[in-house]
Amino acid sequence: MIKGLQDALSVRSVVGDPIERDGVTVIPVAAVRGGWGGGGGTSGGAGFGLRSRGVGAYVVKDGEVRFEPAVDVTRIALAGLAAGALAAYLFRPRR
């Protein structure tokens, strides 16, 4: 199981395969988090979990490298909804 966790958390799960087109190379990058645990007792048991999300990409063009962050539209939308709900609560008519 530990070997499986090591393989899952390798560099290959964080930095993707380069993609090259028309003289531009794009290297995708992800943030990966993981953990594992085990238990004792009569039944025992163990497990691990992973979470990953794209954070952006390195773009190589004309010998220059720059990082382009990914835009998480879902996170932006949820933040907007939360801000709207908070504003509606704070500025509601009082009786």
3-state secondary structure of 74: helix
Does the pLDDT at position 73 exceed 70?
Answer: yes
**What mean pLDDT comes out for the span 7-27?**
81
Question: Of the segments 6-15, 22-31, 36-45, which one has the largest average pLDDT value?
Answer: 22-31
Burial code of 27-60, b = ≥16 C-beta within 10 A, e = fewer? bbbeeeeeeeeeeeeeeeeeeeeeeeeeeebeeb
* pLDDT at residue 33 in the model: 79
- Name the residue among 65, 44, 45, 43 with its Cα closest to residue 56: 65
Q: How confident is the model at residue 22 (pLDDT cuts 50, 70, 90)?
A: very high
Q: How confident is the model at residue 2 (pLDDT cuts 50, 70, 90)?
A: low
